[in-house]
Structure 1
């Protein structure tokens, strides 16, 4: 039986940045799925560049954010979303919960990074990656995997950790990319009949744990608890700089990826403040801040971290975001029926 983390149950961090007289400030409430480490750094910058704005940012996992929005549909508590998976965002447009808004600078963003009607605008791209603990690999005499198929090697039994796609956007993009890459007929057959499920069943035999967070597989692997963490590229850079014995491998079959986007919420109580924040969040200054953590940002001409590969050099999986969004519920239902036992 798989071990599931019970420690990370609906954890969110609320950060307040208030200077001067609170009465002189306008307020904005933001929901975000950006990593905690990122949010702290970005909000320091926002505080400096938006001194007249009181920012309340609530950090939730990808799945938790969606669940919270649904629970608050009749009485929205947030004004905007900052950095949420596009495949999730798309589900909420037909529900009437996202309001079209094209922030200042929207025209500079490439078309593949934004909704043509302005319902969402992506700020960055993150890609699936394997985080390898080089010491564990050496001590256990394990090969370094080059791609997903290599992880079926029985030598990796109980040495793998992967995010639960029901709660983690990273987990979902990993599963969705495999469904698309491993079955050319993914669009024309029922989700539950996809060939990739057979692969995932074999992978499950080696899995030590499915966990709620997309970054936690990398962090637990870095700590020496696993040999390979199925995570995402950004977290490698952070762990490497902290001195952990880690190596990053981008799957040779193609790295699944996701766009993180911003949006204005319908029924926002502080709409003007939300628009002001969204304008800043799409600015060149904000994007330069994101680029310290991200594989790639949507603002043209801004490079990522020096210890990360150039985005153009990476083989990305052909992600079909509309199909993923439309079939998200069925994908998660099938995965849960197979692996949440």
Structure 2
């Protein structure tokens, strides 16, 4: 055998091994995380797991939940990471999520996890609603600063408020559910009817109403508190208000397909390293040892509504059907 042949064979073998070593296994992850944080989470995971790559499929909570339900008999997702607890409860009930106990689960705050036996989902963070109030626009229109949900039904705010469509946005649905659970069914629907009189439009994004308020397109956006805090940090003339009965949810992770690579994504998503990324945007995260103060984030814990995530999931279809019949006419066109 010639030396040239041996050298050529070794080079080919080394090349083949190198190709296989760097051909990372792709895991499809469905998410409703905000678009601007996906790269950060993907890069951090892949830095620790170079043999696995994440393929994000992202949409708003309502659309992503509907997609997962539609694909029930032919699942395309392997992991769901960053979806509302109420949606996760529904997906578990439909048999879409697999029961799985990730490594490190004992280090998590139990209040953000699946409350039932045979757990299938685990909290990454808690996200909250807020009223984003543009002080400059308010001054131009002589609008007082609201302090309660009832204040928003004042006719002075007519045409100055936007909020998310609850069918498209988990942010919207969790506030609708908070009103219904804490005010009672009749009073909750009555309240939303009065509020609708003042609504300029409903958006298909949970963060958009706050962005609109920050840009002065509306005076008030019922939206994500984290988005309001971030915009205020960037200089937007916003007051971020959390009245009593503010809606909130656990944003969670769960396993769909039981591959080893998918399990490693779930394991990493509840790790301390992952939680140290979540806490950059959310003051309440899943890991017991991770906490921080987020700049301009309002006091939320004293005004949190009592939320039953299982009820939210079970009632979702009926609530959204009733909401659409009453209020969908003011929703923005879908892009």
Question: Which bin holds the TM-score, normalised by the shorter protein?
Answer: 0.7 to 0.9
Question: Greater helix percent: which structure?
Answer: 2
How do residues 1-341 of structure 1 correspond to structure 2 at under 5 angstroms?
Answer: 21=19, 23-115=22-114, 116-183=117-184, 186=185, 194-251=186-243, 253-265=244-256, 268=257, 271-309=259-297, 313-341=301-329
Per mean C-alpha deviation after superposition, the further-off stretch among 121-130 and 68-77 is: 68-77
List alignment gaps of at least 5 residues for structure 2: 1-17, 330-335
Q: Report deviation, 1:280.
A: 0.7
Cα drift, residue 70 of structure 1: 2.3
Deviation at 1:312, TM superposition (A): 7.1
Q: Which structure 1 residue ranges, 5 or more long, are not aligned? A: 1-19, 187-193
Q: CA RMSD in A?
A: 1.7
- 8 Å Cα contact 1:123-1:261 kept in structure 2: yes
Quote the offset at 1:316 in angstroms. 0.6
SS at match of 1:247: strand
TM normalised by structure 1 equals 0.86
Kindly indicate whether the alpha-carbon contact (under 8 Å) linking 1:233 and 1:295 is maintained by their aligned counterparts in 2. Answer: no
TM-score (norm 2): 0.88
1:127, 1:295 within 8 Å by CA — same for their partners in 2?
no
| Separation in structure 2 between the aligned mates of residue 64 and residue 335 of structure 1, nearest angstrom | 16
What secondary structure does 2:305 align onto? Answer: coil
Are the equivalent residues in 2 in contact too, given 1:293–1:304 (CA < 8 A)? Answer: no
Deviations for 1:270-325, whole angstroms, at most 9, x for unmatched residues? 71111111111110010000100113101113223431457675321011222222
Q: How many residues align?
A: 309
1:134 deviates by 1.4
Q: Which has the larger radius of gyration?
A: 2
Relative contact order (C-alpha < 8 Å, sep 6+): which is higher? 1
* DSSP-derived class of the 1:296 partner: coil
8 Å contact from structure 1 (residues 296, 311) kept in 2: no
Q: Deviations over 1:226-249 (max 9, x none)?
A: 000000211012212222111100
Determine if contact 1:295/1:308 at 8 Å carries over to the other structure: no
Q: Which runs of 4+ in 1 moved over 6 A?
A: none
8 A contact 1:32–1:59 mirrored in 2: yes
